[in-house]
Amino acid sequence: MMRLFLCLLIFLLGAGTGWTLRGKMIRKLIDPSTIEMPNWVDEQLLTVNRYSRPGTNIPVINGIVIHYVANPGTTAQQNHDYFEGLKDQSGSNTVSVSSNFVIGLDGEIIECVPVGEKAYASNERNADTVSIECCHPAVDGKFTDETYDSLVKLTAWLCKQLDLSPKDVIRHYDVTGKACPKYFVDHEDAWKQFRKDVKKAMRKDI
């Protein structure tokens, strides 16, 4: 009887706090729609459309995927505007692409698709991740210091908001094998350092 009571108590406590079993880890469920962007993020939400912002809700987010835009020298605004322009597509040769966030060469951050909505960036992981695209000045894909610092800051903030850890932060490469973000694929040590920097940033009051 005592064992039954304890089991029931644990179940009720788990249900009351919104904890759920995910593999061998217990994670608190977060409602992404309740997350408010900090003032250092420029909210320029795309128009809801079939090619870049389908308006599909994501109830549970299990990771953050890092990308690079693969278009050297372009700005965050130019990439945002490209996503927005996709709504005017028609015909059979259509493209579906977008990202939740784009970080520019000067470290500016634009939110294109709300956290908790599906973006077209990470293939089969679109349905349970947040995507961050990063601008870069050259073909090697290396980010400016300003872009890198903003990427660390945004990723750490999202991890804290979504109850994620740096281990839940992955590259597009880890999903598909595509060399994206190129510099972090070509330089594994830089990728490992990035995750360490995110972990360090998470200890701060962002």
- Joined together, the tokens standing for residue 149 give 């610092």
Q: Is residue 117 pLDDT above 80, yes or no?
A: yes
Is residue 204 very low, low, confident or very high in pLDDT (cuts 50, 70, 90)? confident
Residues sharing a CB contact under 8 Å with residue 147, sequence separation 6 or more, in sequence order: 103, 104, 105, 106, 107, 134, 135, 136
**Mean pLDDT of the region 96-123:** 97
73 versus 17: the higher-pLDDT residue is: 73
pLDDT digits (tens, 9 = 90+) for 6-49: 443 333 334 333 333 344 344 557 787 788 999 999 999 999 99
The residue behind tokens 């250092």 is 40
- Enumerate the domain spans of the chain: 1-30, 32-202
Instruction: Residue 136: name the closest of 181, 179, 77, 100 by CA.
Output: 181
Hey, what CATH class is 32-202 in? alpha beta
Is residue 2 very low, low, confident or very high in pLDDT (cuts 50, 70, 90)? very low
CA distance 105 to 117: 25
Is residue 94 very low, low, confident or very high in pLDDT (cuts 50, 70, 90)? confident
Look up residue 129 and give its amino acid.
T
- Joined together, the tokens standing for residue 180 give 């994206």
Rg for the chain (alpha carbons), in Å?
18
Residue 32: the pLDDT is 78
Instruction: Residue 158: name the closest of 116, 188, 123 by CA.
Output: 116
38 sits in the region (left: phi over 0; alpha: psi -120 to 50; else beta) called beta
Residue 91: the pLDDT is 64
- Joined together, the tokens standing for residue 62 give 């299990």
- Joined together, the tokens standing for residue 148 give 């890198």
Q: Give percent above pLDDT 90 in the chain.
A: 77
Using an 8 Å Cβ cutoff, are 140 and 119 in contact?
no
pLDDT digits (tens, 9 = 90+) for 149-202: 999 999 999 999 999 999 999 999 999 999 999 999 999 999 999 999 999 999
